[in-house]
Structure 1
Amino acid sequence: MTLHKLIEICNPLHVTNKNIDAKLTTFAIDSREVQNGSVFIAIRGTQVDGHMFLEDAINRGARVIICEESYYTDEDVCVIEVENTQKLAGPIAQAFEDNPGKQLKVIGITGTNGKTTTATLVYQVLNACGKKASLLGTVSKRILDEEFDSSLTTSDPIELARDMKKMVDAGSDFLVMEVSSHALHQHRTSGFDFKVGAFTNLSHDHLDYHETLEEYAKAKKLLFDNLPESSVAVVNIDDQYGQQMTEDCKAQQLHLSFNNDTAYILENSAQGITVIVDGEKIESPLVGKFNAYNIGLTYLICKALGLEPKEIIKAFQNAKGAKGRMEPVTVEVADLPLVIVDYAHTPDALQNVLSTLSAVKDASQKLTVVFGAGGDRDTSKRPEMAKVSEEFADKIIVTSDNPRTENPDLIITDILDGFESLDSVKSITNRREAIERAISEASENEIILIAGKGHENYQEVNGKRHHFDDREIAQEFLTKKAGDN
């Protein structure tokens, strides 16, 4: 990266020392990551303003500072003043990595629920069809077949660009990525175009950040507002916000609806689901009406990428979706309750999973749910989750999720306020004890849903993550129950 090229990308309001002789080495958003020759960009975040760390960045060796306000330094440093640093972080990060986003066919999937399952299905189908695809999402990031831990649904622009570069270097042609509302609002995906943008649905979530559902929808809509004409928008128009997503979209549009004759569910059982989309019969091992939408969107996305219907349909037979999404916990012993772990942590997601299990279970089976709510997040969804669980479950255990900095007992109190009756409700703050109680008291003819954490292998308490995996704990107590029997 040359200084001349950097200034060109920035389209600055003002530049000082633009003729310095500097070899630009790295690009940093965090001043602690600055090295000799770095470019440091000051971004105003929700928690911290990067402009507070300009001097620190210079002391650590930054040769170029990009900021939104006039700044003077005696050091031999170029200062680039711009209108909005947040919008520039993505394009600069991409340029530092030789623009890998332009070398990949990028598929972006946004929505409240279903992002992870849909993204994983698209990744699995592409690879099953012989395509070289990578994945970025909530559960994991995959560079071709190699898996890495993922800390955010959508990474910051620098990590995203570096991951894309690794994917290109590994031979990837496609990148399937989940795109969060936070990332869209903060312009983290600026600097490259999406080949396909897809919308799953929108419901009550993240209002601690966006404040209103309308603002949340506007953030999601940014994905489609910025799609070029050469792209394709794949949208679930059964959702009340589906049509709104593409109002200003220049891309070609493919709509999915199970409310008209273009798509319908042929069969839905505990063994899997069969759907008809665009006249094609698709069989999947996934269960539930909400997964019908994930399957339908996946089919349309892959079709938009040029795959043949027959090869997509064949690939679906072994596409199992994401870890921690309606994932059964298995023990090789009969006569035990069926335990399912799912990431459902919003009222809408919990309703989807509970209604599905309620619909496919035998009439004689009881349905138990263990759930909580995350701390330092939108509190209004807590009583709503109680109402949903009361509608479908026979027994309910309210417990701790990721309390973060909140008192878990106060979170549970917020949830309990949503129940009309507490007759079938227990509250057990310790999540391990809650899971143990659910399994130890269950009959063999019972389904237990452990909701909220899914694939997560930690519990976050007071800023620290402690190892905690619902699947491991459930398997431990199922094994113990088998031994006791």
Structure 2
Amino acid sequence: MNFNELISLCNPTNVSGPEPNDIGVLQHDSRKVSPDDVFIAIRGIQADGHEYVKEAVARGASVVIIQEPVSTEEEVCIIQVADTRGLLGPLAQAFAGNPAQKMKIIGITGTNGKTTVATLTYQILQQLNVTPALLGTTGKWVGGQTMDSNLTTSDPVELAKDMQQAKEAGATHLIMEVSSHALDQQRVNGIDFDIAAFTNLSHDHLDYHQDLNNYAQAKAKLFISLNPQAKAIINGDDEYAIHMIEECQAEIIRFSFNKALEVECQVLSNNTEGLVIRIGKILIESSLMGTFNAYNITEAFLICRSFGFKKEAIAEALGKANGAPGRLERLPRKEKTQPLVLVDYAHTPDALENVLRTLSDIKTEQETLHVVFGCGGNRDHSKRPKMAAIAEKYANKVILTSDNPRDEDPDAIIEEVLSGFKNPENIERITDRRKAIVKAVTNADKDAIILIAGKGHETYQEVKGERHHFDDKEIALDALDNRKSNAKNTGG
């Protein structure tokens, strides 16, 4: 990147100060600036980067890109532009060598199902002998390595570096989850998606978006950004599907299990062993369970089909795919006397209802459905009583516990959740999540289906600003093993 190229990309309203001798890397965090770096000031929700221009200059920034006028005593090149936030994505891609232009890019958005669709797509492409990379909620899978992910969709600079790494590792296809926050904050600006997929939209993130209409408009930005050569895979059964396609210029492929659209689908079998579904004329068998997973499987199938892969090969690959960790993940049962334990990330009313309704529909008459769940702190309070009502509607037994309390009092959160139960006296309340899981697994009989909801793949619990190691699966597996040991010790 030379200075003339930088000026051309910025399309500045004003340039002042000396032309830099060297241009380093792009930074939007003043603490990370090194000599010759380019610092771009972004006005955020909690902080304004313009307030840190002096710090960036003191650390050696050779160029500062601003939106609002700033004063600095040092001689430094200042480039003023109309919108630094909108510019950050394209600049980050350019500084990284435009990696997004050198791979097929798949973006998946929606309230629920993003992670499962992304993971299934990744697993299918692996079996079809291409080299994919995945950036999402449960982690970053690049070049055979797995890295932690702090956000569903990273900031533009980190995202461009991840894409650069993926390209250097030989990736030809990159799948990424695209959050509503990322779309609203323009984090994916500068990326031309070859395929975008919409799963569904329901009550979530209203603490940020205020209402469902704003939330839908944020999601729709992904589809508005598509060029006419791209393809949009749309769940036509979702009521917000129309919002995604009304300004979309790409080829639209809608699928439905309920009505006649471009692709007609049908659930042929759905039980605790898995699914058999029909997509068009193709039959697919999967170990995943539940109607909502039928939608996820279909979305992944259509994404891969849109790249021209053969239907039969995709169906075969889906039969071997096991989906995303912590998404209705079945824990192994070593003994027939053990209950079926499932771990799921469901932390919204819609997600919890999808999972519980699914399990309620497929369980046998002798089986009972148990749920352990809580609600996260520092999040939308209105969903707490709604989740209580859903749990009470579908589950035979409910244990209410903590999720990630964050800065809130976990008992105060539980009190808010309790207000949504018609018969709170029937609900068992155990604030300590570990004790709640252990009791649920230990006390259940062999005919119980236990859903541990809310944290899924997460391996931490966030309390008062700190993350402590906490893995629902580890705790549940230990409890299952202890059941086995106790049975042996008592001669059972």
Between the aligned partners of 1:58 and 1:403, the Cα distance in structure 2 is 39
TM-score, reference length from structure 2: 0.97
**Within 5 Å, which residues of 2 pair with 1:42-53?**
42-53=41-52
Match of 2:381 in 1: 379
CA distance in 2, matches of 1:311, 1:423: 53
Shift of 1:477: 1.1
Q: Residue deviations 1:340-385, cap 9 Å, x none? A: 1000000100011111111111111111100001111111111110
The aligned residue for residue 10 of structure 1 is 10
Instruction: Deviation per CA, 1:83-140: give whole Å up to 9, x if none.
Output: 1111111111111111001001000000000000000001110111111110000001
How far residue 11 of structure 1 moved from its aligned partner, in angstroms, is 1.0
Q: Which residue of 2 aligns with 1:75?
A: 74
Q: Name the counterpart of 1:85.
A: 84
Letter of the 1:7 counterpart = I
Partner of 1:480: 482
The residue type paired with residue 15 of structure 1 is V
After TM superposition, list the pairs within 5 Å mapping 1:459-474 onto structure 2: 459-474=461-476
How many pairs are equivalent? 484
8 Å contact kept, 2:26–2:92: yes
How far has the Cα of 1:331 moved from its partner? 4.4
Which residues in structure 2 correspond to 1:32-71 (within 5 Å)? 32-71=31-70
Match of residue 296, structure 1, among 295, 298, 315: 298
Q: Work out whether residues 371 and 398 of structure 2, in 8 Å CA contact, stay in contact via their aligned partners in 1.
A: yes
Match in the other structure for 2:113: 114
Structure 1 segments, 4+ long, off by >6 Å, are none
Letter in 1 for 2:271: S
Q: Contact between 1:369 and 1:393, CA under 8 Å: does it hold in 2?
A: yes
Post-superposition shift, 1:290? Answer: 0.2
SS at match of 1:317: helix
Match for 2:343 among 341, 344, 349? 341
* Higher mean displacement: 139-148 or 99-108: 139-148
Which residue of structure 2 lines up, in the alignment, with residue 274 of structure 1? 276
**Amino acid across the alignment from 1:311:** A
Unaligned runs of 5+ in 1: none
How far does residue 194 in structure 1 lie from its aligned partner after superposition?
A: 0.2
Q: Which amino acid aligns with 1:435?
A: I
C-alpha distance in 1 between matches for 2:267 and 2:286:
12
2:316 is equivalent to residue 314 of structure 1: yes
Corresponding residue of 1:21 = 20
Paired position in structure 2 for 1:134: 133
Aligned partners of 1:241, 1:22: CA distance in 2, in Å?
Answer: 51
Checking the alignment, whether the CA contact within 8 Å between 1:63 and 1:77 is kept in structure 2 is: yes
Distance 2:2 2:68 in 1: 23
Paired residue for 1:329? 331
Check the 8 A contact 1:119/1:135 in 2, yes or no: yes
Q: Note if contact 2:20-2:62 (Cα within 8 Å) is conserved in structure 1.
A: no
Once the two structures are superposed, the pairs formed by residues 450-461 of structure 1 within 5 Å of their partners are: 450-461=452-463
Residue 255 of structure 2: aligned partner: 256
CA contact (8 A) 2:108 2:196 kept: yes
Q: 3-state DSSP class of the match of 2:151? A: coil
Alignment-mate amino acid for residue 10 of structure 2: C
Q: Would you say the 8 A contact 1:71–1:79 is kept in 2?
A: no
Match of 2:490 in 1: none
User: TM-score if structure 1 supplies the norm length?
Assistant: 0.98
Is the CA contact 2:333–2:340 (under 8 Å) kept in the aligned structure 1? no
Question: In 2, Cα distance between the equivalents of 1:67 and 1:20?
Answer: 16
The letter of the residue matching 2:61 is A
The whole-number CA distance in structure 1 between the counterparts of 2:146 and 2:467 is 21
> What amino acid does structure 1 have at the position aligned with 2:402?
S
Alignment correspondent of 1:229? 228
Alignment RMSD, CA only?
A: 1.0
State the distance in 2 between where 1:477 and 1:93 align. Answer: 47
- Larger mean Cα displacement after TM superposition, 329-338 or 437-446: 329-338
Tell me the distance in 2 between the aligned counterparts of 1:84 and 1:446. 56
CA drift of 1:333 comes to 2.6
1:362 is aligned to 364
Would you say the 8 A contact 1:331–1:479 is kept in 2? no
3-state SS of paired residue (1:273): strand
Report the identity percentage. 50
Tell me the secondary structure at the aligned position of residue 256 of structure 1.
strand
* Cα distance change, pair 331–266 in 1 and its aligned pair in 2 (3 A): closer
**Contact persistence 2:31–2:56 (CA under 8 A):** yes
- SS of the counterpart of 1:176? strand
Do the aligned residues in 2 keep the contact of 1:394 with 1:424 (CA within 8 Å)?
Answer: no
Moved more, 361-370 or 325-334: 325-334
How far is the alpha carbon of 1:21 from its aligned partner? 3.3
Residues 1:103 and 2:102 aligned together: yes
